[in-house]
């Protein structure tokens, strides 16, 4: 297989601008001519091996940051947006999307923001009978989607918060002592911590400085909530500084993001980066082993694995997703080339949906996306009981996976024939942008294909995709 050329013009320009170098000075430090640098910055030439080595030696750059992950993520998001019927007659070729993502990422983000606003306007117009006369009957960015995209384009890794959480855990003697140390830290700050019979996982009263946690909740949930509250109280300056840099459009988005950052701190303190990464490698990413070692739930462990993207010390690039029983994606992140649909559900051929049928079991799947990339995917149902009779259960399914080239590092790949073409099941992202012409589970036709309808013939689908 031929090595894929690396085009990273936007990142080269960003690095040069950040360091205050002119093109002439930057070219001299990289050992290339000025015209050659100009061509690389405009993606007319790929980044050469010589330049990659110079970036690492001269500037200490983690060369994995030059990978096309961000660009591919933008391409995937733009393809999904352009699958909207409003663009049905003006679909640009894939090559144009890749050029836009590589050469003009800010413009690509602006396009996605515009399309999101358009969708929200359409949804409001569809429910005009409810919206008429209301003060908020106007298109505003969805705070939830804005925060989701913030973490999505940060690669789900927030360096300052991650390192602060790791530093806190180290000062308390490591993750094994984290629960007791967190309670002690809160108590030393004059906060009373108690466990009571309540349906609420966590309730903090700032006036009385009392923190009440549910005695019914699992131990890992209690520890997580303790750390989350600690982050809100003791790491407020760090969280606010991070939010300032994000520049959210609304107070609601900022408030949601602050809770998200506090959640991030809690997970990173419960599973400190270096210790967790080392343990994950030692047990070949066995979720149950890691769950027992760090006192975390399987879902918490799977989510943490997808955040191990620290520059210079990156883990395996994983994707992580959580869906509800209706197939709606409630959490999503991918450090791989596989990107999830921003709107609607996931591909029905993916094993994450079958996890509801076999509760308590790990389901393994070898899958191939339409671009020919192959993955190993692990799925399992997650039930969140309230701890008392009659309380509603919250049921989800989670999936964790990576490209099959990392299979030797996963205990779940044992016994699977990753060398057989027939072992891989075809999956996609969403039907509207999936290029497969013979999928038996297709819900709607792909927008980029012409259809043939024959009233005298009926196959699996009532049409043929040409």
Which range, of 145-159, 245-259, 279-293, averages the lowest pLDDT?
145-159
Distance between CA atoms of residues 191 and 320, nearest Å: 35
Q: 24-28, long-range: CB within 8 Å, 24+ apart, which pairs?
A: none
Letter string b/e over residues 25-50, b meaning 16 or more CB atoms within 10 A of that residue's CB:
ebbeebebeeebbeebbebebebeee
Give the mean model confidence (pLDDT) for residues 132-136. Answer: 44
pLDDT digits (tens, 9 = 90+) for 136-146: 444 455 788 88
Residue 1's pLDDT band, with cuts at 50, 70 and 90, is: very low
Q: What angle do CA 407, 350, 118 make, to 5 degrees?
A: 115
- Return the pLDDT at 439: 81
Name the more confident of 227 and 141: 227
Dihedral (C-alpha) 243, 247, 251, 256: value to the nearest 10 degrees? -50
Please report the pLDDT score of residue 445 as a whole number: 78
Report the SS3 class of residue 204: strand
**pLDDT reported for residue 186:** 96
Cα-flanking dihedrals φ and ψ of residue 211, to 5°? -115, 120
**DSSP output for 133-179:** T-TT-S----HHHHHHHHHHHTTT--HHHHHHHHHHHHHTTSGGGHH
Longest dimension (CA), the chain: 79
Cα distances (Å, whole numbers) of residue 51 to 11, 12, 200, 272, 432? 13, 10, 55, 34, 40
Across residues 74-92, what is the average pLDDT? 75
**Closest Cα partner for 370 from 76, 98, 91?**
76
pLDDT band for position 343 (50/70/90)?
low
Alpha helix (H) ranges present in 205-314? 219-234, 236-246, 251-270, 273-282, 287-294, 298-305
Structure confidence at residue 344 as a pLDDT band (50, 70, 90): low
Q: In angstroms, rounded to a whole number, what is the distance separating the alpha carbons of residues 342 and 145?
A: 9
Contact between 78 and 96 (Cβ < 8 Å): no
End-to-end CA distance of the chain: 29
Q: Is 399 helix (H, G, I), strand (E, B) or coil?
A: strand
CA-wise closest residue to 347 among 359, 361, 365: 365
pLDDT tops 80 at residue 330: yes
3-class DSSP state for residue 289? helix
From residue 203, give the alpha-carbon distance in Å to each of 104, 303, 363.
Answer: 45, 24, 36
Distances (CA, A) of 112 to 68, 80, 145, 290, 368: 19, 10, 12, 37, 27
CA–CA gap between residue 40 and residue 283 (Å, rounded): 42
How many CB atoms neighbour CB 118 within 10 A?
A: 14
Confirm if 276 and 318 have CB atoms less than 8 A apart: no
C-alpha–C-alpha distance, residues 330 and 321, integer Å: 8
């Amino acid at each position: 297989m031929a090595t894929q050329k690396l085009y990273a013009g936007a990142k080269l320009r960003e690095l040069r601008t950040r360091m205050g170098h002119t093109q002439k000075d930057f070219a001299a430090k990289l050992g290339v001519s000025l015209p050659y640098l100009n061509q690389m910055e405009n993606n007319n030439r790929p980044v050469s091996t010589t330049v990659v080595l110079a970036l690492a030696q001269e500037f200490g750059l983690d060369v994995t940051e030059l990978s096309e992950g961000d660009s591919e993520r933008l391409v995937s998001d733009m393809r999904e947006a352009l699958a909207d019927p409003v663009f049905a007659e003006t679909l640009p070729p894939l090559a144009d999307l890749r050029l836009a993502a590589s050469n003009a990422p800010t413009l690509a983000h602006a396009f996605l923001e515009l399309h999101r606003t358009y969708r929200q306007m359409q949804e409001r117009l569809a429910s005009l009978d409810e919206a008429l006369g209301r003060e908020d009957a106007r298109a505003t960015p969805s705070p939830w989607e804005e925060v989701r995209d913030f973490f999505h384009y940060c690669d789900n890794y927030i360096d300052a918060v991650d390192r602060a959480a790791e530093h806190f855990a180290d000062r308390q003697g490591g993750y094994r002592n984290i629960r007791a140390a967190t309670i002690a830290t809160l108590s030393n700050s004059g906060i009373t911590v108690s466990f009571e019979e309540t349906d609420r996982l966590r309730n903090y009263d700032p006036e009385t400085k009392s923190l009440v946690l549910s005695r019914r909740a699992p131990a890992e949930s209690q520890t997580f909530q303790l750390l989350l509250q600690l982050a809100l109280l003791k790491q407020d300056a760090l969280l606010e500084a991070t939010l300032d840099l994000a520049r959210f459009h609304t107070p609601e988005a900022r408030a949601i993001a602050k809770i998200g950052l506090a959640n991030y701190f809690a997970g990173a303190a419960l599973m400190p980066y270096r210790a967790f990464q080392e343990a994950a490698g030692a047990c070949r990413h066995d979720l149950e082993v890691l769950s027992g070692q760090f006192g975390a739930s399987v879902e918490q462990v799977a989510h943490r694995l997808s955040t191990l993207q620290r520059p210079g010390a990156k883990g395996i690039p994983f994707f992580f997703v959580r869906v509800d029983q209706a197939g709606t994606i409630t959490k999503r992140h991918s450090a791989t080339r596989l990107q999830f649909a921003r709107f609607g559900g996931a591909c029905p051929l993916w094993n994450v949906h079958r996890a509801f049928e076999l509760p308590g079991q790990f389901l393994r799947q070898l899958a191939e996306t339409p671009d020919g990339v192959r993955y190993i995917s692990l799925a399992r149902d997650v039930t969140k009981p309230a701890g008392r009779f009659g309380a509603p259960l919250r049921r989800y399914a989670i999936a964790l996976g990576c490209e099959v080239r990392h299979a030797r590092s996963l205990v779940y790949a044992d016994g699977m024939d990753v060398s057989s073409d027939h072992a891989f099941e075809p999956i996609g992202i969403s039907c509207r942008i999936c290029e497969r012409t013979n999928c038996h589970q297709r819900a709607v036709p792909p927008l980029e294909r012409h259809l043939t309808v024959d009233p005298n013939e009926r196959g699996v689908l009532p049409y043929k995709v040409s």
